[in-house]
């Protein structure tokens, strides 16, 4: 696909050009084990929303991470690493006598991956129940980002509390950003997932979607169908990513197609969407055009998928022209 020839208007966050943006990301970070070229596994830390926060920071954005950790040495190490990355931690809560969840990544020769989780008692899943003040602390932020995986770690009653908060947050002028990241094994059933996603759709202003996840949830259909489904729920701007096939975006000014400038052979696609989101949001916070935001996201993701693990070394340049 190629970029549609037109003037790109961009749905800006109110006043974002004139001041520092306050953006919060709600989610979970876990201990990550990823295999190298040998049979050994490398220990790291990751999670879809944390990955987005780190790449947003590396691309020049300001972000606060909202989660809960344990009182163990792994949690302490996580906090230190996030601070080194420039990710804000003032809203991170500590749950006593608990440890973070763990996930293992298996990579196929073509770069695709499979995830295995051990997270049933992760402190992040108790954030809202044990620390209800966590949401009130971010009520005056400009934007809140969360994902389908964020929703999956909470109980139905906790999700209800989150939806109520997000509804009030939007009334106050805040923007809700949602990534449809979907892991089937994190949910008890497809009907539970559908109910949760339908509820968040009606509270979303900007949707950053993976076509792969849309197909997993709703079956085979076109990117155009996906766009229309989200727009009908009142979402202001929808971005649908479809790997090497490109991106379809839509907002009040129309639909716009973007090709992939330089298709690369991936080594590990673990954080492809997360890194795109981070770079996209960093550009959005600066008031950049839709085309610039998407191109920044594509460039960042292209660098990330050429390396193993969710977080690439800091020596890797993530900013394009």
Give me the pLDDT at residue 117, please.
86
Closest CA relative to residue 193, chosen from 160, 167, 217, 227? 217
- Please give the pLDDT value at position 13: 55
Residue 265 bridge partners (DSSP): none
Task: Give residue 27's pLDDT.
Answer: 98
Q: Are 69 and 79 in contact (CB under 8 A)?
A: yes
- Is residue 192 scored above 70 in pLDDT? yes
Give the per-residue pLDDT at 268. Answer: 79
pLDDT at 101 over 50: yes
Q: What is the pLDDT of residue 231?
A: 96
| Predicted local confidence at residue 116, as pLDDT | 86
pLDDT tens, position by position, 45-72: 889 999 999 999 999 999 999 999 999 9
pLDDT at position 20 is 81
Give this prediction's pTM. Answer: 0.91
Q: How far is CA 208 from CA 38, 50, 52, 256, 297, in A?
A: 35, 16, 12, 14, 11
What pLDDT is attached to residue 8? 36
Dump pLDDT digits (tens) for 9-41: 334 555 555 568 899 999 999 998 887 666 788
The per-residue pLDDT for 5 is 33
Q: Within a 10 A sphere around the Cβ of 313, how many other Cβ atoms?
A: 7
In this structure, are residues 55 and 274 in contact, taking their beta carbons and an 8 Å threshold? yes
Q: Note whether 91 and 51 are within 8 A (CB).
A: no
Domain layout of the chain by residue ranges: 23-304
Burial class (CB in 10 A: 0-12, 13-18, 19+), 318: buried
Structure tokens at 277: 């989101």
Catalytic hit among 213, 268, 274, 296: 274
Domain 23-304 has CATH 1.10.1740.10: no
Phi, psi of 216 (to 5 degrees): -60, -35
User: From CA 196, how far away is CA 79, in angstroms rounded?
Assistant: 30
How high is the pLDDT of residue 34? Answer: 80
Residue in the block written with tokens 């040495």: 73
Element (H or E) spanning 216, and its range? Answer: helix 211-218
- Give catalytic status of residue 136 as yes or no: no
User: Are 77 and 45 within 8 A, CB to CB?
Assistant: yes
Q: Give percent above pLDDT 70 in the chain.
A: 92
**Tell me: the pLDDT tens digits for 285-309?**
999 999 999 999 999 999 999 988 7
The two beta strands, 102-107 and 113-118, are antiparallel
How far from the centroid of its chain's Cα atoms is residue 284's Cα?
Answer: 14
Instruction: Identify the DSSP state of 48.
Output: H
Q: How confident is the model at residue 82 (pLDDT cuts 50, 70, 90)?
A: very high
Residue scoring higher pLDDT (267 or 182): 182
Predicted pLDDT at 266: 86
Q: What is the pLDDT of residues 120-163, one digit of tens each?
A: 899 999 999 999 999 999 999 999 999 999 999 999 999 999 99
Question: In the prediction, which pLDDT does 151 show?
Answer: 98
Helical ranges in 31-186 per DSSP H? 48-58, 73-84, 127-130, 133-136, 148-152, 156-171
The whole-angstrom separation of Cα 46 and Cα 156 is 25
CB atoms within 10 A of CB 132: 11
Q: Can you tell me the distance from the alpha carbon of 201 to that of 199, in angstroms, rounded to the nearest whole number?
A: 5
Mean pLDDT for 271-294 is: 95
The chain-wide mean pLDDT, for the chain, equals 90
The residue with greater pLDDT, 194 or 220, is 194
The terminus-to-terminus CA distance of the chain in angstroms comes to: 21
Q: What pLDDT was estimated at residue 1?
A: 36
Measure the CA–CA gap between 157 and 153, rounded to whole angstroms.
12
pLDDT at residue 105 is higher than 70 = yes
To the nearest whole percent, how much of the chain has pLDDT over 90?
73
């Amino acid at each position: 696909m190629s970029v549609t020839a037109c003037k790109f208007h961009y749905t800006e966050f109110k006043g974002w050009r004139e001041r520092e943006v306050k953006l919060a990301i709600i989610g979970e970070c876990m201990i990550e084990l990823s295999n190298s070229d040998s049979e050994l596994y490398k220990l790291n830390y990751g999670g879809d929303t944390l990955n987005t926060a780190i790449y947003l920071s590396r691309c020049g954005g300001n972000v606060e991470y909202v989660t809960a950790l344990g009182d163990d040495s792994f949690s302490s190490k996580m906090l230190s690493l996030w601070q080194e990355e420039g990710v804000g931690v003032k809203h991170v809560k500590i749950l006593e006598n608990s440890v973070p969840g763990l996930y293992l990544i298996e990579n196929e020769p073509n770069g695709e991956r499979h995830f295995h989780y051990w997270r049933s008692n992760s402190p992040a899943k108790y954030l809202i129940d044990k620390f209800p003040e966590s949401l009130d602390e971010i009520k005056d932020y400009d934007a809140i980002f969360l994902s389908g995986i964020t929703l999956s770690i909470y109980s139905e009653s906790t999700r209800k509390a989150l939806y109520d908060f997000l509804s009030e947050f939007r009334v106050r002028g805040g923007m809700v950003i949602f990534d449809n990241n979907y892991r089937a094994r994190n949910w008890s059933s497809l009907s539970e997932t559908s109910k949760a996603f339908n509820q968040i759709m009606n509270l979303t202003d900007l949707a950053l979607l993976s076509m792969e996840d849309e197909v997993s949830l709703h079956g085979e259909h076109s990117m155009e169908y996906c766009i229309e489904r989200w727009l009908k729920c009142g979402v202001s701007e929808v971005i649908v990513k479809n790997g090497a096939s490109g991106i379809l975006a839509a907002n009040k000014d129309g639909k716009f197609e973007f090709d992939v400038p330089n298709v690369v052979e991936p080594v590990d696609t673990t954080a492809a969407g997360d890194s795109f989101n981070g770079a996209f949001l960093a550009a959005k916070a600066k008031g950049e055009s839709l085309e610039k935001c998407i191109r920044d996201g594509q460039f960042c993701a292209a660098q990330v998928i050429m390396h193993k693990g969710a977080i690439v070394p800091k020596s890797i340049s993530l900013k394009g022209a």
